[in-house]
Amino acid sequence: MFEFQTIYNVLDLAGTFAFAISGAIAAKQRGLDMFGIGAIAFTVACGGGIIRDLCIGAIPPVGLYDWRYLATAMLAALMTMGLYSWVKRLHQPVLLFDTLGLSLFAVSGSYKALLYNHNAEVAILLGMMTAVGGGVLRDVLLNRIPVIFRKEIYASAALVGSIVVVVGEYFKWPNTIVSLTAITLCFSLRFFALRYHWNLPVFKGEESDTVKGSGEG
Amino acid sequence: MFEFQTIYNVLDLAGTFAFAISGAIAAKQRGLDMFGIGAIAFTVACGGGIIRDLCIGAIPPVGLYDWRYLATAMLAALMTMGLYSWVKRLHQPVLLFDTLGLSLFAVSGSYKALLYNHNAEVAILLGMMTAVGGGVLRDVLLNRIPVIFRKEIYASAALVGSIVVVVGEYFKWPNTIVSLTAITLCFSLRFFALRYHWNLPVFKGEESDTVKGSGEG
Amino acid sequence: MFEFQTIYNVLDLAGTFAFAISGAIAAKQRGLDMFGIGAIAFTVACGGGIIRDLCIGAIPPVGLYDWRYLATAMLAALMTMGLYSWVKRLHQPVLLFDTLGLSLFAVSGSYKALLYNHNAEVAILLGMMTAVGGGVLRDVLLNRIPVIFRKEIYASAALVGSIVVVVGEYFKWPNTIVSLTAITLCFSLRFFALRYHWNLPVFKGEESDTVKGSGEG
């Protein structure tokens, strides 16, 4: 139980940092002001976790009462604003941060749902929700179709990570090994999907509308 | 109490199936990938119920822990993808499915709120929310103004269904009769509104912006 | 404790009225029907409070079970629809209503979180959320980038109001004085920001996209 809690904490704060950076960059590219950048960074970093906490009954959501989450997100936002000319040269590292956040949150989200004694389905769905929820909120707030619905394998990678955690806990395999396996698998899936443009099938019919996308993403 | 629970379960799963089909079709028309179609189908089918459950304190939301909801939504999504060329010829039946989902969810949502001992206002507002919430989430995620705010009588039909349930329970009329009356009334209102293009008054002033709608819906 | 509760109630209903008017006007300008206007008015007025209540564990949210909130919002919506030709000449008063709602909700939201024994961070974040949440939902439903992310000081004014409440409660200063100070400060900040076009810095980089704004707001 103790080890469980520690692993969950470390993964969750690391994921918060990674996602806050990706949120701050997206907000900056849209020309939002300082407050907007901070708010979007916090939303991307903590939004998925807040939805998860509401659904599992962890009141108040950890992102709202534990100062470390807010501090981590603000630090990431300030770093992004301060070092933007440096950050913008790092296209690849930014995607890596996002991929890292995705993997860490899928795993930490599933662990937390299990910690609150919910069943496998809740742990899998909310692990995935923790991982993708912040990004969906970001896209809704920035007024575009959430990128996860139309891009390379993304939520599906989180799904795989969450399933590994739930299966590992079911068979009572050691937490550290299960976490590392789940993170590695989720990260690799997303990484190679980006690199080789793997996509899920689209089934475009003749009368499909084309998505009025926003150009970015 | 037992009868209550059974009625609620049957209505709720039937509504889930009907709404998942309408969600899958909308997602497919926007050109989303397989995961996107499944996710939107699940969101439309279970989103309203999840918001209702969070508001009445039913933690975790039934859409997340009861496998029958996920299975029903996925079955509907797969059927829609597999039989799309067949489904697209069924314009009218699709609207019927949506209307059926609306009626079933308005009634089951109100029953569930009463089952959790909430008052009439909560039961009416959340019955309506169960019925229209999934569709609102679908439209927000697909980046358009929710259709319920600008089309033929829709949420108002759900409102009528929810009120019938609450009034019926207040006078302790038999559940089966109350449910059937509420469903029939809601269904008919929406059906005839579609057929004869009934709309609520708009009060267009001279400086009203026209809605920058998305063409579909 | 009693005084606390009374102050909270009065501020909260006054804020509900102010925000419902601003919501009804926005919905009317977009050409929504009667139901849409009522629904958006209620959402702007009660949406932020409902999110706050879910996060602090106040189930069901007060906006859903206390008829005074619904009645206040509907009254404001009807007034707006009935007296629209009169209201539209009042550009300045409308902004004043919105600014009043912002100040009242920032203060009442923070008080309520403290009343439920949450810590300072929760009270500050959720005070701000109560104040801006309804407006964010309005903009998301009307399909535009939330105005708070790109306009004159808005959420930051609410933040200041919430901080004053939390600091005042920490030092156990009298509730009435703390509330009045917080409301005055928040109101003045927003008022002068509007009047003199104060904005937070934007840090526009050379590759910033320009925001595809909606023209209004």
The pLDDT score that the predictor gives to residue A82 is: 84
B95: Cα within 13 Å, side-chain hemisphere? 13
Residue B39's Cβ-count burial label (10 Å; 0-12, 13-18, 19+) is buried
Confirm or reject contact between B171 and chain A (CB < 8 A). no
Distance, CA of A49 to CA of A62 (rounded, Å):
8
Residues of A in contact with B32 (CB under 8 A): 149-150, 202, 211
Write out the two tokens for A172.
């009572």
Answer yes or no: are the C-beta atoms of A74 and A16 closer than 8 Å: no
pLDDT, one tens digit per residue, over A38-88 is: 988 999 999 999 999 999 999 899 999 999 999 999 999 998 888 777 766
Residue with token string 């029958």: B68
Name the nearest CA neighbour of B122 among B189, B43, B57. B57
The pLDDT score that the predictor gives to residue B209 is: 39
Distance, CA of A2 to CA of B142 (rounded, Å):
42
Confirm or reject contact between A117 and chain B (CB < 8 A). no
Name the nearest CA neighbour of A99 among A7, A212, A185. A185
Confirm or reject contact between B88 and chain A (CB < 8 A). yes
Residue B86's Cβ-count burial label (10 Å; 0-12, 13-18, 19+) is exposed
Answer yes or no: are the C-beta atoms of A65 and C119 closer than 8 Å: yes
Angle at which helices B120-141 and B155-170 cross, to 10°? 160
Chains that touch B (3 or more CB pairs under 8 A): A, C
C32 min Cα distance to partner chain B (Å): 5
pLDDT, one tens digit per residue, over B24-68 is: 888 888 888 888 889 889 999 999 999 999 999 998 999 999 999
Name the nearest CA neighbour of B135 among B33, B37, B217. B217
Could you please report the per-residue DSSP string of C35-54? HHHHHHHHHHHHHHHHHHHH
How big is chain A, counted in residues? 217
Angle at B90 between CA B89 and CA B95, to 5 degrees: 145
Residues of B in contact with A144 (CB under 8 A): 143
Confirm or reject contact between A205 and chain B (CB < 8 A). yes
Residues of A in contact with B30 (CB under 8 A): 145, 208-209, 211
Answer yes or no: are the C-beta atoms of A73 and A48 closer than 8 Å: no
Confirm or reject contact between C216 and chain B (CB < 8 A). yes
Confirm or reject contact between A31 and chain B (CB < 8 A). no
The shortest CB-CB distance from B70 to any of A121, A126, A143 is to: A121
Q: How confident is the model at residue A36 (pLDDT cuts 50, 70, 90)?
A: confident
Angle at A73 between CA C59 and CA A45, to 5 degrees: 55
* Nearest C-alpha in B relative to A116: B60
The shortest CB-CB distance from B31 to any of A119, A143, A209 is to: A209
Name the nearest CA neighbour of A17 among A93, A67, A70. A70
Contacts of A116 (CB under 8 A, 6+ apart): A56, A57, A58
pLDDT, tens digit only, all 217 positions of chain C: 446 667 778 778 888 998 898 888 888 888 888 888 898 899 999 999 999 999 999 989 999 999 999 999 999 999 888 877 776 666 666 677 788 889 999 999 999 999 899 999 999 999 999 999 988 888 888 887 787 776 667 888 999 999 999 999 889 888 889 989 999 999 999 888 887 776 666 554 434 333 333 333 3
Name the nearest CA neighbour of B146 among C44, C47, C140, C147. C140
Confirm or reject contact between B84 and chain A (CB < 8 A). yes
* Chains A, C: CB pairs < 8 Å: 90
Helix (H) or strand (E) holding A82: helix A67-82
The pLDDT score that the predictor gives to residue B90 is: 64
* Nearest C-alpha in B relative to C89: B207
Any idea what DSSP says for residue C60? S
Distance, CA of A124 to CA of A130 (rounded, Å):
10
Write out the two tokens for C172.
């156990």
